[in-house]
Structure 1
Amino acid sequence: MTANKRLLTRQEAAAYCGLKPSAFSDWVRQGTMPKPVPGTRRWDKSAIDAKLDTMAGIAKNDNAETPLQKWRREHDARRAKS
């Protein structure tokens, strides 16, 4: 498997997760793993990573303030004081 490969076959996705293909298919049916990319029989490696991160409790915090949001908040606070 190429390290930079983004779309994986079921067998590759299963191996990436350390599972047998049948177990990977079970996880997909249960919603534990994402469905394949629409119109294909390939799984997006980034979507698999996101699911694994969630399972491990290290999911990205979508509510975290971005640098732009922080700048705007601080900028607005400074303007309000003037």
Structure 2
Amino acid sequence: MTEPRLIGRKQAADYLGIAESTFSLWVATYKMPPCIPGTRKWDKRAIDAKLDDVGGLARAEKEDPYDKWMREHGDD
């Protein structure tokens, strides 16, 4: 059986290896995403993305080549 992508609060806390109360605190302080509107379920991918962001692993947006050139060669 495939693991579900949507998980409840307890499963989300278990997934992160933290207490359920800690997960609730992290949601309240925006360290974790809110549940999907109208449900009490969290998307694992949203949790992973937020954890990457909080942990500093989020991919930096690619800089526009023109902006990079201007930053490196612009008037001093």
Higher gyration radius (CA):
1
Q: Give ranges in structure 2 of 5+ residues lacking alignment.
A: 64-76
Q: How does 1:8-27 map to 2 (within 5 A)?
A: 8-27=7-26
Residue matched to 2:62: 64
- What is the rounded CA distance, in whole Å, between the counterparts of 2:55 and 2:44 in structure 1? 16
Residue matched to 1:31: 30
What percent of counterpart residues are identical? 49
Residue matched to 1:42: 41
Task: Choose between structure 1 and 2 for higher RCO, CA contacts under 8 A separated by at least 6 residues.
Answer: 2
SS at the partner of 2:50?
helix
How large is the Cα RMSD of the aligned pairs?
2.1
Displacement of 1:60 in angstroms is 2.3
TM-score w.r.t. the length of structure 1 is 0.69
Evaluate the alpha carbon distance shift between residue 15 and residue 3 of structure 1 in structure 2; reply closer, same or farther with a 3 A threshold.
Answer: farther
TM-score w.r.t. the length of structure 2 is 0.74
Q: Could you list the runs of 4 or more consecutive aligned residues of structure 1 that deviate by over 4 angstroms after TM superposition?
A: none
Displacement of 1:15 in angstroms is 0.5
Deviation digits for residues 6-38 of structure 1, max 9, x if unmatched?
101000000111111111001100111000001
